[in-house]
Amino acid sequence: MEETKQMTTGRMENPLGTEPIGKLLLTFSVPAIISCLINSIYNIVDQIFIGQGVGYLGNAATTVAFPIMTILLAFGTLIGSGSSAYAAIRLGEKKEEEAEKTLNQAFLFTIIVGILLMAAGLLFLKPLLRLFGATDTVMPYAIDYTSIILIGTPFNLISIVLSNLARTDGHPRLSMYGMLIGAGLNTILDPVYIFVFHWGVKGAAIATITSQIISAIVLTVYFLRPSKKPQHMRIQRRQMGLKGKLILDFLALGISSGITQSVACIMQVVMNNSLVYYGNQSDIGGDAALSAMGIVMKIAMIMASVGIGVGIGAQPILGYNRGALKFHRIKRTYLMAVGAATLLILLGWIVCQTWPEAIIGIFGEESAQFTDFAVKCLRIYLFSIFCAGFQIVSTNYFQATGQPLKASILSMLRQLLLLIPLILILPLFMGLRGILYSAPIADATSALIVAFFIVPEMRKLNRKIRETDR
């Protein structure tokens, strides 16, 4: 009888607690990486087609709009990462009903937040763009682009949040397919709206929000469908009343992701204004410096997306096994995720350092002076980015295992505590070049500090593993 019970339990055990770690990490990380890359590609594709069809002022407009898009992403990842981590831990504890409540609360809360952000952004659009570095020549393009992007805010947030929860629900490919459909549509519509209809930056923005709407619909339909499997979460009307405590509980786990994106917004504001100020004191000019660094930041975003994808893919595995107290699986997942993220970003770093001219050329042909400066930006600013995989996965580890304070500290470390001060200080002595050198110094220093957090954590895991094996 006992043997039969164990066999039955084994069949019902969530694969997050039983499947080989390498297989799980591959299954969850590859779709997550693709989803993150697709999310980045929305901006990249816009910038490529705008660069070809409008010119560097159009690209400067997307750079100015980037902090607003980062704010939206901050709220999406705050809710999405937090609710996903919270639901994964509850599933590991066999509390399926509470996990489903988390999905429903996250969905309703996302709609409310999306509408509020859209209204606030449209109401204060011009002063926000001025704060984010828009010059008089860039402002008309920035308004045209950003006002349309803001209209799609609720759908953008829904797609981000439900993508995270789809992975926790055991369907990592679904979030990838939802994003892939949207990105494919965006790539098709961009050239049509920009070159055929001659809508300029407005066309790029319309293509982007159309794609986000499609992604949100695909993911929402999945969670609305009935399921015969009890461990799967579904959107239920009866669970739609707001429950403040549950929302606060999962937001606490997502705060580190929200901080990461919020700090990125602050950094972008400081960066944009510094580029304009010191660029105008150099031969390159403020608008051109803003445009060139905008291209480099988008490339950096693609490379960081790989590390973020691996971290996101590892998150449900870490969270479930944290709830199930399977410490050996937690450690193995972390180590494999760090190795994979570091290797993938290192490959991207080699490409950037070897063929920078070809990469910059994708975004449009400008003057030789502009291209030379953009190449210099690419090589110097991204010089230490191969450290990013270790930093991102380590932060995700603390978030997924229910340690929000450590995750929050590490989230603020690179950009708020290191990069922003360096952007403000180094140009005082080096001019525009000081902005370029701020990133590699921040990357290398933050990697060392993260090690001081993660080494004791690995020792603690080793002790728990030994205690469990006794």
In DSSP notation, 171-218 reads -HHHHHHHHHHHHHHHHHHHHIIIIIS--HHHHHHHHHHHHHHHHHHH
Question: What's residue 106's pLDDT?
Answer: 96
Q: Which two tokens stand for residue 166?
A: 């789809």
Summarised one tens digit per residue, pLDDT across range 192-211 is: 998 888 898 899 899 989 98
Number of structural domains the chain divides into: 1
Strands of 56-138, DSSP E: none
pLDDT band (50, 70, 90) for residue 7: very low
Say if 302 falls within a structural domain.
yes
Question: What's residue 142's pLDDT?
Answer: 92
Summarised one tens digit per residue, pLDDT across range 293-312 is: 988 988 998 898 899 889 98
Q: How far apart are CA 223 and CA 162, in angstroms?
A: 8
Maximum mean pLDDT: which of 28-37, 85-94, 230-239: 85-94
List the domain range (segments joined by +) for residue 157.
20-469
Question: What's residue 8's pLDDT?
Answer: 41
Summarised one tens digit per residue, pLDDT across range 149-159 is: 999 999 999 99
Question: Dihedral of the CA atoms 24, 26, 32, 36 (nearest 10)?
Answer: 150
- pTM for the model stands at 0.72
Q: How far apart are CA 350 and CA 100, in angstroms?
A: 43
Say if 73 falls within a structural domain.
yes
pLDDT band (50, 70, 90) for residue 256: confident
Say if 13 falls within a structural domain.
no
Say if 451 falls within a structural domain.
yes
pLDDT band (50, 70, 90) for residue 366: low
Say if 8 falls within a structural domain.
no
Question: What's residue 173's pLDDT?
Answer: 80
pLDDT band (50, 70, 90) for residue 1: very low
DSSP H helical segments within 227-326, as ranges?
A: 244-279, 286-323
Say if 416 falls within a structural domain.
yes
Say if 98 falls within a structural domain.
yes
Nearest Cα neighbor of 297 from 289, 287, 307 is 289
Say if 388 falls within a structural domain.
yes
Question: What's residue 382's pLDDT?
Answer: 94
